[in-house]
Amino acid sequence: MIVRHLNDCQNTDRHVKSATWDSVRMQLSDDNTGYSFHITTIYAGGETEIWYKNHLESVYCISGDGEIETLDDGKVYPITAGTLYVLDQHDRHILRGGSQDMVMACVFNPPLNGREIHDEDGAYALDTPLLAKAS
Ligand code: 9YT
């Protein structure tokens, strides 16, 4: 079994930071589970364009508020504590923080390895295959 505490992962090499969000990558590909697990904070008032063209992702909002816009159809969905969104179509999207930081629990398939940075598309390169591909 693997047991980790968020406090012990913060401000280590598991903790990646950008101008509009930060993310604690608590579980990665080297744990050999087939998915990774992240606690990501989207900063209030910030805007981030993302396209995970190589990954599927589920995101659950623990606290805070904001919205997600899917870029192919222009739809905007509010996010509050309790909202789950699933990027099952590799959806290009914009995340916007609202009046408070949004704290999100995120799962990736395939797992991130922890070395990813967003490329010019807002995507991460792939070094292990998807386990199940969206149809
Ligand atoms: C909200 C979201 O897309 N989180 C993804 C994880 C984060 N961008 C990371 O760990 O790189």
Residue 73 in tokens: 């159809």
Q: What is the CA radius of gyration of the chain?
A: 14
Residue nearest to atom 10 of ligand 1 (CA): 23
How many angstroms does the Cα of residue 76 sit away from the middle of ligand 1?
19
| Number of Cβ atoms within 10 Å of the Cβ of 134 | 11
Q: Rounded to whole angstroms, how far apart are CA atoms 117 and 103?
A: 20
41: phi then psi, degrees, rounded to nearest 5: -115, 120
Taking the model in full, what pTM does it have?
0.88
Closest CA to 1 of 48, 23, 33: 33
User: Ligand 1 mean position to 42 CA, how many Å?
Assistant: 9
Question: In the chain, which residues have pLDDT < 50?
Answer: 119-121, 125-135
pLDDT recorded at residue 93: 93
Atom of ligand 1 nearest to the CA of 118: 11
**pLDDT value at residue 53:** 84
Distance CA 132, CA 124 (A): 17
- State residue 64's pLDDT score: 98
pLDDT (0 to 100) of residue 124: 56
Burial-class residue 66 by CB neighbours within 10 Å (0-12, 13-18, 19+).
buried
Interval 72-96: pLDDT, tens: 999 999 999 999 999 999 999 999 9
CA of 61 to the centre of ligand 1 (A): 12
Counting from 1 in the atom list of ligand 1, the atom nearest the Cα of 52 is: 3
